[in-house]
Chains A and B, each alone.
Chain A
Amino acid sequence: MSYSITEPSSRQKWIAGILVVGYALLTLLPLVWIIATGFKTPADAIAYPPKVVFTPSLEGYVNLFTSRSRVTPEDLAALGPPTTWYDAIVRQYDMVITGPSRYGERFMNSVIIGFGSTFLSVFLGTIAAYAFSRFKVPLKDDLLFFILSTRMMPPIAVAIPIFLMYRELGLSDTHLGMILLYTAVNLSLSVWLLKGFIDEIPIEYEEAALIDGYTRFQAFYKVVLPQAATGIASTAIFCLIFAWNEYAFAVLLTSGTAQTAPPFIPTIIGAGGKDWPAVAAGATLFLLPIMVFTILLRKHLLRGITFGAVRK
């Protein structure tokens, strides 16, 4: 690895800064557009030329969280004045709120399945990686290759066998089934990433702990785990992003009780007209947990991504 000895000049810094900001704007643009669309009225959302400046509206969010039905103007008048601000929004379109939509449930399913499978992948991955890193496992290299090979085809290639298997086992459309499936897919990534991190932790620390009067498990727990925190955090983010965003299996294997948000969000479009603001609102809210999770673990993630590039 080589380092440049001279400080970059201020002009170089400016150019680098402009490039970074430009790239950030480019990648953030779709995100900004989605977030903005969530606050537009349906008319503004499909206006041409596109509206950059608009009057914000919460219609998208109201539509996202409610089921509505159309009523005649006479019936509407008979109902009396709207009692809440969201009632008022809906009534502009000759509609009344008939109840909550399923978005909340689907969102919760995503939370349970996403975080559940992430926890399981990282937990199993950590102990497997520790064993591969520290013990003489028979056929270690073959096993590791086998584990990696499960990622060499697109997971959806085995969709039909899994669909049939899940039907037989009664795992279709269950939280447990989805958690197990995403864990299985994520486990290879998790084992390989974490093995790299644990390999980097000198074995002397554990040996010192063994001599200091601790058992191997205690040494693992007290010495290895805290030092692997960075690796565990970045692995968790990668696992969560996959499980959170997974679409194909979710469409195939869930329909009711365990349906996650990704297959649900497009179904909003169908409910009379193209309700883009509601879709955008659903997507925006769906982004939040993973953003929060990533920001919380940001400190670790940075080291995780540059892992191996910097020698300590």
Chain B
Amino acid sequence: MAEIILQGVSKSFGPQVALADVDLTVPDGAFVVLLGPTGAGKTTLLRMVSGLDQPDAGEVFIAGQAMKGLPPAQRNVAMVFQQYSLYPHLTVRQNMEFPLKSPLLRTPKEAIAAKVAEVAEILQISHKLDNKATALSGGEMQRVSIGRALVRSPSVYLMDEPLSSLDAKLRADLRIELKNIQANLGATFLYVTHDQIEAMTMATHVGVLDHGRLVQFGTPREIYEQPVSIYAAGRLGQPHINILPADLFGPAPHGAVYIGMRPEQIRQGEGQDALVKRVERLGDQTRLHLAFKAHDLTTVIDAHTPLRTGDIVKIEPHRPFYFDADGARMV
């Protein structure tokens, strides 16, 4: 419904640089996930788009319109906050009606009731509608919070780790539900998460932020298979990518300092000996913690492997990544 464009957006809080010259285009109808550790500027970026904070430099456009100076109410964005931000003095129903009753929308009564009932159904909170917002569990609060965003039809949805406080089952349900909603509405989502599954399954695009800089932007597959740096490679992948000295397995390309291998880039049964330190059985997969020439690395093996601590396996790199001294990928 709307394209979001950030042009050269910078923001500092005192000496702390939160965003540094970020250029980002979120295509209309895209589901963009922002990845990065705490402090990378993900939330700040959302706040720039929402209008809760103003950039020090640069411009934000939503649907082709410059947003400079526009208050949040006039940007037609919905936002789900990381902390539950339900109005504690209102009931669940009143919370969900709140945006619809705003002077901006002035929705007719019947339409409000219908919309709230519909969204409550999706989020499985119909039976809680008349509870006080404070009488809910954390997961329920967060669902109401999402519901408050969904009752509207804004041009852009901004979500700041909306599923992080939910249990695994509900998270999986809502993941699919949010994705469906996004697909049905054709809405533009800008979504912050730490969760790799959310990023991989929901995103049409992933943006990787590092200390306020957008270091890579592409499809989840691109980020996973063609990371631009050690940092970007480290954002996705369970278990984590193994970063080792480049020449550990033999001669490395000129200038390479590190070799990076995801589990599928470690071929087992050939190459050199590694010692099994620990076998971690997760059910659907089994992780092998190996010691190789005084370095630790982790890989994945068949769930029913007979390997045990103290066994020896042969490993060799299979189409690994090489990185230079700065951590940038060498192609």
Contact = CB atoms under 8 A, between A and B. Distances in A.
Interface of A: 202, 204-205, 207-216, 218, 223, 226-227
Contact of B87 (A211, A213, A223): A223
Nearest to A226: B89
Given A210-B73, A211-B78, A227 B89 contact: yes
A214 B89 CA distance: 17
Given A207-B52, A226-B89, A227-B89, A213 B104 contact: yes
B105 interface: yes
Contact of B72 (A202, A211, A218): A211
Q: Is the interface of A mostly helix, strand, loop or mixed?
A: helix
Given A204-B85, A212-B73, A218-B102, 13 more contacts: A204-B83, A208-B79, A208-B85, A209-B98, A210-B51, A210-B52, A210-B73, A211-B79, A212-B98, A212-B152, A213-B102, A216-B71, A227-B89
A202 B98 contact: no
Contacts of B51: 210
Given A218-B103, A226-B89, A211 B83 contact: no
Given A202-B83, A204-B83, A218-B103, A211 B89 contact: no
Contact of B81 (A204, A213, A218, A223): A204
A107 to B, nearest CB: 36
Interface of B: 50-52, 71-73, 77-79, 81, 83, 85, 87-89, 98-99, 102-105, 148, 152
A227 B79 CA distance: 22
A212 B81 contact: no
Contacts of A202: 83, 85
A208 B51 CA distance: 11
Given A226-B89, A227-B88, A213 B83 contact: no
Nearest to A229: B89
Given A218-B103, A226-B89, A227-B89, A212 B148 contact: yes
B52 A213 contact: no
B52 A212 contact: no
B53 to A, nearest CB: 10
B87 A205 contact: yes
Contacts, number: 58
Q: Lowest 3 A-B CB distances belong to which pairs?
A: A213-B102, A213-B104, A212-B99
B99 A210 contact: no
Contacts of A214: 73, 102-104
Contacts of A208: 79, 81, 85, 87, 148
Contacts of A227: 88-89
A227 B86 CA distance: 12
Contacts of B89: 226-227
B72 A210 contact: yes
A312 to B, nearest CB: 10
26 contacts: A202-B83, A204-B85, A205-B87, A207-B81, A208-B81, A210-B51, A210-B52, A210-B71, A210-B72, A210-B73, A211-B72, A211-B78, A211-B79, A211-B99, A212-B73, A212-B98, A212-B102, A212-B148, A213-B73, A213-B99, A213-B103, A214-B102, A214-B103, A226-B89, A227-B88, A227-B89
Interface centre among A205, A210, A211, A215 (most CB of B within 10 A): A211
A215 B85 contact: no
A218 B148 CA distance: 18
Nearest to B74: A213
Given A204-B85, A223-B87, A211 B98 contact: no
Interface centre among A209, A216, A218 (most CB of B within 10 A): A209
Nearest to B99: A212
A216 B74 CA distance: 12
Contacts of B88: 205, 227
A166 B203 CA distance: 71
Contacts of A207: 52, 72, 81, 85
Contacts of B87: 205, 208-209, 223
A6 B110 CA distance: 53
